[in-house]
């Protein structure tokens, strides 16, 4: 007897996406016919080099940069580590003060901890309850010896889009290097490094239906950076992952084509998901800015519900979602947004994939209603709130 295929509704694109069919098609020849090392000078190597250059041109065009300003890394963590450590170390003669927001990716926050061990001073600026980084606090934190500021374009946990133009111009008025992590913004909103004064920007592949194991760092040609990996091959040495680079370039081209139309379609499904949850489940609140947010992100708090338990229960029904932290290591973003431990414990993130339909949403909400009811019946938070009354 043939097994019935389990229904899968994927709502975790902030962690990874499937590889677009056109992207995969573009990658395939690089595994067995265009397999050369792009640093080799023979014909097979030159063919691989041309494929890498095509990827650079595609990514550069998408963000209004030059191809020579695009560097490839093994992932977002490496790109962010390289940006923070490399830019700070290369410019240490000008000062030793770095500013980052408290709602940055862990790869940036941990790189800053490393800088502190090396004698740098790091200021961590806060945000409001919607996750919007405080421009006033940023301005108040800038010193004579500030050499680097890093603020994300959009937060990956709650989806809040930062006031990037105002932040970048405030930083550049003081002649300070500005880096931004655009990992979750790429493909969700237009990015332009010419109209906004950005010196360095991290770009992700696996959030835009490209391959894993590759990311990019845009680096303005006039900006100095110290190599993060030692070896032959310029600023970012080591053999390049040509298949992934080729796929990344194609994914960026597709993701930024008619971006406003595709983002609007995703937003409609995301909004329908939130509306349906609010209608069927009581005491649900939004995390992040209601309007100033990327199209695919929905992070909510469901009062008196263990979000991690809910995530596992959803997974049993083929529904993929995520929680941003655990009881032992809670979300630093939600802490910065002044959420209580109970609210953080009850927060779950849904990031909508392009192939998710309204019918999928109906299925998700139908399953969630029963799950939330069961979890609330056994929730110690529910019991304590009843006792307080």
- CA 73 to CA 260: how far, in whole Å? 28
Instruction: Write the DSSP string, 115-171.
Output: HHHTT-EEEEE-B-TTS-B-HHHHHHH--TTEEEEE--SB-TTT-BBP-HHHHHHHH
Q: Distances in Å between the alpha carbon of 118 and those of 88, 112, 114, 143?
A: 11, 10, 7, 19
> Is the separation of the CB atoms in 85 and 60 below 8 Å?
no
Q: Tell me which residue has tokens 């790869």.
A: 107
- CA 218 to CA 216: how far, in whole Å? 7
Token digits of residue 295? 């199209």
- Number of other residues whose CB lies within 10 A of the CB of residue 210: 29
Known active-site residue 180? no
- CA 137 to CA 207: how far, in whole Å? 30
Could you give phi then psi for residue 42, rounded to 5 degrees? -75, 175
**Residue 97, H or E segment:** strand 97-101
- Per-residue DSSP letter, 199: S
Token digits of residue 317? 């029904």
Query: Among residues 127, 180, 320, 324, which one is catalytic?
Result: 324
- Partners of 319 in the beta sheet? 9
Token digits of residue 385? 């709130």
Contacts of 86 (CB under 8 A, 6+ apart): 225, 226, 227, 228
> Is the separation of the CB atoms in 202 and 183 below 8 Å?
yes
Instruction: Indicate which residues carry an active-site annotation.
Output: 324
């Amino acid at each position: 007897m043939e097994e019935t295929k389990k229904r899968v509704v994927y709502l975790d694109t902030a962690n990874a996406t499937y590889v677009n069919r056109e992207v995969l098609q573009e990658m395939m020849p690089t595994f067995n016919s265009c397999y050369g090392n792009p640093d080799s000078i023979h014909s097979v190597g030159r063919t691989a080099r041309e494929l890498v250059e095509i990827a650079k041109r595609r990514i550069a065009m998408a963000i209004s940069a030059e191809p020579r300003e695009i560097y490839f890394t093994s992932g977002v963590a490496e790109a962010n580590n390289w940006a923070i450590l490399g830019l700070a170390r290369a410019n240490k003669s000008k000062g030793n003060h770095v500013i980052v927001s408290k709602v940055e990716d862990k790869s940036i926050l941990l790189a800053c901890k490393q800088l502190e061990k090396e004698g740098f001073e790091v200021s961590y600026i806060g945000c409001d309850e919607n996750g919007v980084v405080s421009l006033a606090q940023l301005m108040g934190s800038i010193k004579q010896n500030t050499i680097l500021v890093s603020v994300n374009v959009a937060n990956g946990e709650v989806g809040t889009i930062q006031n990037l133009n105002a932040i970048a111009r405030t930083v550049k008025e003081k002649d300070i290097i500005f880096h931004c992590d655009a990992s979750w913004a790429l493909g969700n909103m237009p990015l332009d490094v010419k109209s906004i004064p950005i010196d360095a920007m991290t770009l992700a592949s696996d959030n835009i239906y490209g391959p894993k194991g590759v990311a990019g760092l845009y680096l303005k040609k006039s900006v100095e950076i110290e190599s993060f990996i030692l070896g032959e091959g310029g600023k970012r040495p080591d053999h390049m992952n040509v298949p992934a680079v080729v796929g990344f370039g194609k994914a960026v081209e597709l993701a930024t084509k008619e971006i406003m139309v595709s983002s609007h379609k995703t937003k409609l499904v995301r909004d329908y998901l939130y509306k349906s949850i609010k209608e069927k489940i009581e005491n649900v609140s939004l995390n992040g800015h209601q309007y100033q947010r990327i199209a695919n992100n929905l992070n909510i708090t469901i009062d008196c519900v263990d979000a991690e338990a809910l995530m596992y229960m959803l997974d049993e029904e083929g529904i993929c979602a995520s929680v941003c932290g655990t009881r032992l290591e809670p979300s630093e973003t939600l802490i910065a947004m002044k959420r209580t431990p109970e609210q953080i414990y009850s927060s779950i993130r849904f990031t909508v994939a392009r192939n998710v339909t309204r019918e999928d949403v109906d299925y998700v909400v139908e399953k969630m209603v029963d799950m939330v009811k069961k979890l609330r019946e056994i929730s110690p938070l529910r019991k304590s709130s009843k006792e307080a009354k």
